[in-house]
Chain A
Amino acid sequence: MLIKARINDEWREADVWPGASLLFFLRETLGLVGSKNACEQGECGSCSVWLDGELVCSCLVLAAQAHGHEVRTVEALATDDRLHPVQEAFIQTGAVQCGFCTPGLIVAVADLLEHDPRPSETIIREALAGNLCRCTGYAKIIDAVKIAAGRMQK
């Protein structure tokens, strides 16, 4: 089926199997491989994107549900020569090890800070409950969120 969606401010269209997920559409059809596929069951958050401004697991959205709608992916966060403050903070604290969870976490953290610019640690932990990381033990990730929040205030 032909799916047409506005992805990172650009209308894109492509043919996919009607049962395909938005994640499959992004990665395998459009070549936007920033969003990762680790579980395909909503557990890990590595496929997190925004659908009409809402944080979602793209593996749990049918590609057809995005037809005619707005999708923003991790690829939209950095501009030509500048990383997003959340990306910079992740690098600074060493919140990236194997990096597989990183795009999903960056998107989830950016979403959190858009809604709550000064989150407490409890709020940070609750907001990131749907993003699993097998490497870092989360401490550096939480440090990165705090640093990014501070920078984005200014």
Chain B
Amino acid sequence: MHVLLPRTLEEALEMKASAPPAVPIAGGTDLMVELNFDRTRPQAIMEISRLPELNVWRRENGTFSLGAGVPYSRIVRDLTEFRPLVEASRTVGSPQIRNRGTVGGNLGTSSPAGDALPVLAAYDAEVVLAKAGGKIRRLPFAQFMTGPKKNALAPDELILGTRWKVVRGPGSFSKIGTRNAMVIALASLCLVLDEDGRSVRVALGSVGPTILRAPDAESFAARAMETAGVWRDPFGPLPTRVIEEFGERVAAAAKPIDDVRGTAAYRRHACAVLAQRALRWALDDRKLTGAR
């Protein structure tokens, strides 16, 4: 085994092109566990945690680009505008894990329990991939993550980061687990309201082979809000039955399994509860901000 130490993204992509089996290491919070327990023995490891090009974010024409190497603790501190992302980042591991772990690593691992992933799915984010020679690929999140720990990253590519269109409106991330910290989600949910598009977006984590959107529940809620006039008037009441049915429809989108962390039935139930809470929070937030 050997370690490659590129100093720039360009160098890193060149190295990837000439030695595709080199496994990148960013925060190491997933990869080191594999190494320490002898579950993987790559021929080469490439250190990318300090590549300046991955440690940045940028706003451009109404979109936001987040570099793959930005650790969770910096997201929590500096990107407060993106509340669901901050809430998700804050639930990752412990301070030690958040100081190192990155969204790029979460994407690289592509675990259905990755906490940043439902947020990216609900943001309709695209994943930006690069290879040597300035070649860039942008994949919608759903095309990037293809299954549990499976994604479309090619061996000669690196994840540059992720990009999404910034939408106006409230949103949240919530997660069910056995503890308030250091816990792998049993079920997680991100809800985002898009005031201008008058749409509701919901993504579920840990309840299927990949991150799941709930399109039927999404359009149901958006239509019900239209009918009740809630998009125009945040104080217009939305019938309780609508919120309940929204929860049921979100739960119907889940494809949970029984495992050591919980049963499929409990996970499905948790999705309904999370969805109802998230919608109520969003509606309350709109009352406070006047649907700004």
Contact = CB atoms under 8 A, between A and B. Distances in A.
A131 B95 CA distance: 10
Contacts of B181: 126, 129-130
Interface in A87-142: 108, 111, 126-127, 129-131
Interface string B95-135: 11101100000000000000000000000000000000000
A126 to B, nearest CB: 7
Interface residue tally of chain A, by bracket?
A: 20 to 34
A67 B33 CA distance: 20
Nearest to A24: B36
B32 A60 contact: yes
A111 B73 CA distance: 14
Interface in A3-59: 17-19, 21, 40-43, 45, 48, 54-57, 59
A45 B94 CA distance: 9
A61 B96 contact: no
Interface in B16-32: 25, 27-29, 32
Contacts of A108: 95-96
Contacts of A127: 95
Interface string A51-79: 00011110111101101000000000000
A64 B182 contact: no
Nearest to A37: B36
A64 B44 CA distance: 12
B242 interface: no
B2 A130 contact: no
Contact of B28 (A45, A48, A65, A129): A65
Interface string B34-56: 01110001000101010000000
Contacts of A126: 181
A152 interface: no
Interface centre among A1, A64, A67 (most CB of B within 10 A): A64
Contacts of B94: 42, 45, 129-131
Given A17-B1, A130-B182, A41 B95 contact: no
Contact of A67 (B5, B32, B182): B5
A55 B100 CA distance: 9
Nearest to A131: B94
A18 B95 contact: no
B99 A19 contact: no
26 contacts: A17-B1, A19-B45, A21-B32, A21-B35, A40-B37, A41-B36, A42-B29, A42-B33, A42-B93, A42-B94, A54-B73, A55-B99, A56-B96, A61-B32, A62-B25, A62-B28, A64-B5, A65-B49, A108-B95, A108-B96, A111-B95, A129-B95, A130-B93, A130-B94, A130-B181, A130-B182
Interface of A: 1, 17-19, 21, 40-43, 45, 48, 54-57, 59-62, 64-65, 67, 108, 111, 126-127, 129-131
8 A-B pairs with the lowest CB-CB distances in the bound complex, closest first = A130-B94, A129-B181, A40-B36, A64-B3, A60-B32, A54-B99, A41-B33, A57-B96
